[in-house]
Structures are given as structure tokens and as C-alpha cells.
Amino acid sequence: MQLLYLLKTGYAPTVTRAAQILSRNRSTVQQWLQVYRNQGMEGLLEQKHSSGRPRAIPKWAENALHQQLQKQEGFNDYQEIVDWLQENLGINTTYKTVYKLVHYRLESSPKVPRPQSIEQSQQRVEGFKKNSQTT
């Protein structure tokens, strides 16, 4: 849309100048104009989908794993997640793939929180934090 604005207002008299202002290659700007001429504004605003390789772990399995990670029992390590995916969802994948998915994409961890005593008082914990000296 900036390209069209630059050309319509005369701020960029040529495609080359518009490409310089937009920090794009001239051929890229010409491709945008070709799409605009053929398909109009809808063609420019259309979301392009990647035609690359499909993910090793599909989105539905990723969602199932994310729900499983949220449960109280969780997983002990990444290898346990690899085994769970194979046994429960039939997805054969590598440790490295699972690590990247869980750590970077889901921003989670297989570790479960340490258990807390049912006798622990939240008020006493807050009092301890408040009164303890920090260095």
C-alpha cells in the first residue's frame, strides 16, 4: 500500500525510486505492481501460505502435547515425550525435534513442579518472603 501511495502522490516518480524508498529490489516492486494490475487490492492483501515441507509434528498433535504438558503429572524428560508421541499419537519423531517444539515453540518444559506440603500455609510463606533478608 505504501508503494501505491508513493506512486500516486508523485513522491516517487519512478518504480526504481519507489524501490529505493521502500528498501526493496526493483523487480520485487514490479511484481507487486503486476499483482495489483491483475488482482487489485485483494491480490496484494492476500495471505500467502508456505509451500515448504510439512511439520514433523502436525498441529493437532502439537495441541494434544501442549494440553498434556499443562497437566499436573506432566513428563519427566524429553525422551518420555518422544515415547508418548509414538505410543499415544503414532508420531515417530526425534529427540531434537521434540526439544525444539517444546522448548522454543510451546515455551514449556517437561519438568513438573516439586510437590508442596498440604500443611503449608500461604500466609506463612508470604511472611517468610517479606521478612527474609535478600543479598
pLDDT at 88: 93
Query: Is there a domain that residue 114 lies in?
Result: no
> For residues 63 and 47, what is the distance between their CA atoms, to the nearest angstrom?
23
The predicted model gives 86-99 an average pLDDT of 94
Looking at the chain, the whole-number percentage of residues with pLDDT higher than 70 is 96
Shared domain for 35 and 12, answered yes or no, is yes
* The model's pTM: 0.50
Q: Look at residue 100 in the predicted model and tell me its pLDDT.
A: 94
Residues 32 and 64 in one domain: no
What nine digits make up the cell of 126? Answer: 508470604
Are residues 40 and 76 located together in one domain of the fold?
A: no
Average pLDDT over residues 107-123: 78
Q: Is 117 exposed, middle or buried (0-12, 13-18, 19+ CB in 10 A)?
A: exposed
Q: Are 18 and 3 in contact (CB under 8 A)?
A: yes
Query: Is residue 79 in some structural domain?
Result: yes
Please report, rounded to a whole number, the percentage of residues in the chain having pLDDT higher than 90: 36
Q: Which grid cell sits at 106?
A: 510451546
- Domain region containing 78: 59-105
The total number of residues shown for the chain amounts to 135
pLDDT above 60 for 114: yes
Residue whose entry in the numeric block shows the C-alpha cell 513522491: 11
- How many distinct structural domains can be found in the chain? 2
Long-range contacts at 30-35 (CB < 8 A, ≥ 24 apart): 32/3, 33/3
pLDDT band at residue 80, thresholds of 50, 70 and 90?
very high
